[in-house]
Every structure is written in C-alpha cells, then in structure tokens.
Amino acid sequence: MTDNTDLNKTLIRNNPNLSGNQLYNISKQSGISIRKTDFYSLVREVRKLPEPSIQKKEKSTPKKYRIKGTGTKKPPKLPFEQTKFGKIVKRLESEHGISEKRAIERARALLKIPKKDYRKLNRKDVQILLHETP
C-alpha cells in the first residue's frame, strides 16, 4: 500500500495542471488507485491545499442522506397513550364506555382529521398532536 501512495504522490507531482478527479481516474486506469477519500487527502497534502469547510463537505453528500435542520433533534417518539390524540381517545373510551376503535373514529371526527391523513397519523402525531394538554 505504501508503494501505491508513493506512486500516487509522483503522479500528482508530475501533473500539476490536472484536477483531483482527473488524477484519480488516471490512477484507477493504471491500477495504482487507493481509496477515493485517501487519494483526495493525498492531493491536498502534496499541493498544500486546505481541508474543505464543513459547508462544502455537507454539500457533497447526496440530498436524500442529508440531515434536515442540523443541530435540531427530533422529539422522542412517545407511546400512544401519552400523545395528545391518545389522551383524547382514552378519555372518550372511559367516559362513553366504547371500544378503542370507536373512540379513535370519534376522536378523528371531533378533530376533523380526514381518513387519508389518519392513516399517516404516526407521522402527523409528532408534528401536530404531540403537545401535552395542560
């Protein structure tokens, strides 16, 4: 492996006008390539370039793998009975003496949550119904 890094260093020194990506492709074709991130760090080391900033590193990750709203944590997922919707259902169940299924349907009707949105209630529960009742 050390001989590959030495070969890569000479490749980088001999081609100062080529970009890092072009150099990596050449090293792949010649069979002396190393891991891509290691190769780019080697290019920065030989050319005496600074490390990329945090923003630039975040830009390089694909959008579907990015964490939205960095620095903010998701609220913890509570059990059904502790959510606002769950408390409403349990109260309806105990006061009216009905089954849990009927209490859920009645609570959905009282809160005017459409059936298509009710199917996604676990996702919406975090956003809308997570707040505790006073």
pLDDT tens, residue by residue, 58-81: 888 887 777 766 555 556 677 778
Q: Which amino acid is at 115?
A: K
Residues 132 and 85: their CA atoms lie apart, in Å, by: 9
Please give the structure tokens belonging to residue 129: 């119904």
Q: Best-predicted range by mean pLDDT among 32-41, 60-69, 97-106?
A: 32-41
pLDDT beyond 60 at 37: yes
Mean pLDDT of 17-44: 92
Q: How far apart are CA 49 and CA 109, in angstroms?
A: 62
> 123 versus 56: which is more confidently predicted?
56
* Residue 111 to residues 77, 94, 96, 115, Cα–Cα distance (Å): 21, 18, 17, 11
Q: Residue 133 — pLDDT band, cuts 50, 70, 90?
A: very low
Instruction: Considering only residues 118 and 67, tell me which one the structure prediction assigns the higher pLDDT.
Output: 67
Residue closest to 24 by CA, chosen among 13, 39, 10, 38: 39
Report whether pLDDT(129) > 60.
no
pLDDT at 105: 83
Tell me the pLDDT band of 88, cut-offs 50, 70 and 90: confident
- Band of pLDDT at residue 123, cut at 50, 70 and 90: low
Question: How much is the mean pLDDT over the chain?
Answer: 80
CA distance 24 to 36: 7
Whole-angstrom Cα distance, residue 111 to residue 19?
59
DSSP symbol at 1: -
Residue 13 sits at the vertex; the CA angle it makes with 45 and 26, to the nearest 5 degrees, is 100
